[in-house]
Structure 1
């Protein structure tokens, strides 16, 4: 029986053109796609605001059959990102409230929760989850996958890489040579497995011995938001299960293509009035 856990960030993505909000966030998206693609038990731990957006995030995760019994509800706004369309019709993030109440509160994990976390095969978290200082402790209990997004600076790599088994990066703006240089740097910093998603160029994975290259699966694209998280989720699920990198990447690419066929990372759109989201 496979059991996986995600800890950290959650948001609603507000689509200005549709007037709808969709639940999301890296840790949430990975958790949902694990469950949708057959993981027996998936748990999510994070901090959610006490607002309509927080209700929608938690209710959506319950509908996806995730264990949310350890989610904290705090007084304050839930994380929100403002998404609009560019001139080519591609979605882009134009602002956010920096995670809302999540950035003000620390996710304190109790001894009982650490024992609970230890019963899972893998914990996924991200650069948006503010858990960097907890990684040395968490690593003693469980293997960790960590999504860096586009944060590649040396100091941050030195802070995080020694404690994670899987490092994931968004490399859509990097050349293949830059991606390979990043992979080498991350291995040297202490992480044995590195994934770089490259948008329409596909993805790369290195297990320290070999670099694997996977193209995308062609599809009718409605919305690319969440496609990278889908690939990561299914790649990790498959690779943890059987260790075959090429098969894991192929299944991840097929799942990412399916995500591109709908609005929102995993659906659950809800109409809402527009709010001004400050920051960027």
Structure 2
């Protein structure tokens, strides 16, 4: 199996630990695909020419992710400041709004589109600024898209017609609100919808049936990356076996393992905070 993630990357900086960890939705999904058995995983994104960008790329290389098409540009890499509450739940308390990725966008050459076409699925997110590229990419490959908590009607109409899998963070929604969201997304054009709900587990709809999955209980150190883990493993398993419940169970078990360490997938590096975060 060959899977590719395209778009956002970041370092998550834990102020109390003076430590940064590589992350970002697209990066996390790529890493968890590889860790959980996908043979060939590539990542395409933009990083700055700084210590943070180097740490992101070097960490991906250590995870055996193909980063040969990562763009290294002049400017700051994305950074988010993370705080944990007494339960290990992560809170983002500041960021530099994606750094240089906010000013630049990914463009794809014909050669690169031909490369992308050799994969089974492309994963990206709301933080990757690829909305205008989706109609083009969709001609070459199936797309999964993580909306996080951004799902106003206009944005759904912009994105949903071009993606096969839509993922949402619904931790603040009731089950009824989640089901209503799923229905709206299907009507907007996406056949498969995942809603992660934090401690309430997850929902998945294949346009015919809504499936539910509870969390796997564990000793929580840090919840950062748990949702991305679930999504990565669910997508991988569902693409191969088309068994929704089994894919959700494996995703929940993997997410529980992620909660047992700091950072989404480790690779912490000590660093004194040095940039202005707003």
Global fold match (TM > 0.5): yes
What is the root-mean-square deviation in Å for CA atoms of aligned residues?
0.9
Give the alignment's TM-score, normalised by structure 2. 0.99
Secondary structure at the residue paired with 1:105? coil
Aligned match of 2:124: 125
Partner of 2:269: 270
What's the counterpart of residue 63 of structure 1?
62
SS at match of 2:204: strand
Does the CA contact (< 8 Å) of 1:4 and 1:122 recur in 2?
A: yes
- Give 1:20's aligned residue: 19
Partner SS state of residue 54, structure 2: helix
**Cα displacement (A) at 1:276:** 4.6
Q: Are 2:149 and 1:150 equivalent residues in the alignment?
A: yes
Shift in Å, 1:263: 0.3
SS of 2:171 mapped into structure 1: coil
Partners in 1 of 2:90 and 2:191 — Cα distance?
33
Shift of 1:61: 0.1
Q: Deviations over 1:189-248 (max 9, x none)?
A: 000000000000000000000000000000000000000000000000000111000000
- The residue that corresponds to 2:97 in the other structure is 98
Q: Distance in 2 between matches of 1:33 and 1:87?
A: 26
Q: How far is 1:110 from its partner? A: 0.5
**Distance in 2 between residues matched to 1:147 and 1:275, nearest whole Å:** 30
d(CA) in 1 for partners of 2:54, 2:144: 27
- Map 1:86-235; keep pairs closer than 5 Å: 86=85, 90-235=89-234
User: Which 10-residue stretch deviates more, 83-92 or 102-111?
Assistant: 83-92
Which consecutive residues of structure 2, in runs of 5 or more, have no partner in the other structure?
none
Question: How many Å separate the matches in 2 of 1:36 and 1:190?
Answer: 31
Distance 1:89 1:56 in 2: 24
Give the unaligned 5+ runs of structure 1.
none
